[in-house]
């Protein structure tokens, strides 16, 4: 992969890159379509990265279907599908990791303390291997996108990061490979995430500026579903991810909720000016 991307660059071709953990859905395909539009050559990777899963999380159970992923990638079409194994990514005795600081110590970082270190490390490695001009990430993982933008700035990567809006099922559920874990009644409960974010947008459109009131209403809406357990609901500054008390500028509302044993995340912008 490294030789091919260097050769393509030397031939004057531009590269777009979509890193994924596979089990592709329309959200991934939207990233790929945008990448296709932005560069000459589209590279996607499929690699379930062990260092972003803590012991007891779903690394082994994470859904995988390489044959279907290859077929879906061909529909875009992806030019190069990079599917490294663990030996290629983490050579024996790998001792160097990239550890994002403050941005990673809030929201998902509180319940998944090693997650963003694993993500930042693997994305760094993939960037060095693929050497893309542009890389695409979903807004669904808003904290991840913010951390990667910051990492690229802090560590002087020569790559443009493009965020792509969340793709949703027709009923509003944000697309995620983990939706495959949901039983039918849990899927119904999972809808409370996107529905309560939509309600929060309405509250802001109706003039509500107090974050605590919006968070309280969202908490009540989600807790009305018996199988849910809220991890966090926050309203934050989109760059610093610091909590915002008064919504007097565009902010991001984000939440993480367990539905049964499946942990789901979602987020939406809240803008008092629209």
Catalytically annotated residues: 28
CA atoms of 38 and 162, how far apart (whole Å): 10
- Give the angle subtended at the CA of 96 by the CAs of 241 and 239, to the nearest 5°: 10
Rank residues 62 and 197 by Cβ distance to ligand PAF and give the closer one.
62
Query: Locate tokens 């061909």: which residue?
Result: 74
- Give the angle subtended at the CA of 142 by the CAs of 141 and 145, to the nearest 5°: 90
Give the contacts of 92 (CB within 8 A, at least 6 positions apart). none
Q: What DSSP state is assigned to residue 168?
A: B
Rank residues 151 and 255 by Cβ distance to ligand PAF and give the closer one.
151
Shortest reach from residue 247's CB to ligand PAF, in Å? 28
CA atoms of 74 and 68, how far apart (whole Å): 10
Task: Report the residue from 69, 141, 227, 266 that binds ligand PAF according to the rule CB under 6 A.
Answer: 141
Footprint on residues 216-245 left by ligand PAF (CB under 6 A): none
Structure-token pair, residue 131? 């050497």
CA atoms of 204 and 90, how far apart (whole Å): 46
What is the per-residue binding string for ligand PAF in 29-68, x denoting contact by CB under 6 A? Answer: --------------------x--x----------------
Query: Which range of residues in 18-26, 103-111, 227-235, 254-262 is near ligand PAF by CB under 6 A?
Result: 18-26
Contact between 123 and ligand PAF per CB under 6 A: yes
Contact between 20 and ligand PAF per CB under 6 A: yes
Answer whether 274's CB lies under 8 Å from 260's CB.
Answer: no
Task: Report the residue from 1, 21, 80, 191 that binds ligand PAF according to the rule CB under 6 A.
Answer: 21
Task: Report the residue from 15, 19, 41, 127 that binds ligand PAF according to the rule CB under 6 A.
Answer: 19
Give the footprint of ligand PAF on this chain (CB under 6 A). 19-21, 49, 52, 119, 122-123, 141, 144
């Amino acid at each position: 992969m490294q030789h091919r991307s260097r050769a393509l660059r030397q031939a004057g071709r531009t590269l777009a890159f979509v890193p994924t953990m596979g089990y592709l859905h329309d959200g991934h395909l939207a990233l790929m379509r945008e990448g296709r539009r932005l560069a000459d050559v589209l590279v996607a990777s499929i690699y379930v990265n062990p260092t972003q899963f803590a012991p007891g999380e779903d690394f082994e159970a994470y859904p995988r279907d390489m044959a279907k992923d290859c077929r879906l990638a061909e529909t875009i079409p992806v030019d190069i599908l990079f599917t490294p194994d663990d030996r290629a990514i983490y050579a024996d005795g790998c001792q160097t990791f990239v550890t994002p600081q403050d941005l990673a110590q809030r929201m998902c970082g509180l319940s998944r303390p090693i997650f963003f270190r694993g993500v930042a490390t693997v994305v760094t490695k993939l960037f060095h291997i693929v050497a893309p001009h542009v890389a695409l990430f979903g807004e669904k993982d808003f904290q991840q996108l913010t951390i990667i933008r910051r990492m690229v700035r802090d560590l002087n990567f020569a790559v443009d990061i493009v965020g792509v809006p969340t793709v949703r099922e027709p009923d509003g559920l944000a697309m995620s490979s983990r939706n495959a874990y949901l039983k039918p009644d849990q899927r119904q409960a999972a809808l409370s995430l996107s529905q309560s974010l939509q309600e929060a947008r309405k509250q802001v459109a109706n003039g509500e500026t107090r974050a605590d009131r919006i968070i309280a209403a969202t908490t009540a809406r989600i807790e009305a579903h018996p199988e849910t357990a809220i991890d966090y609901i926050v309203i934050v500054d989109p760059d610093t991810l610091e909590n915002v008390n008064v919504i007097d500028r565009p902010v991001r509302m984000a939440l993480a909720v367990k539905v049964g044993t499946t942990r789901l995340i979602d987020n939406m912008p809240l803008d008092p000016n629209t």
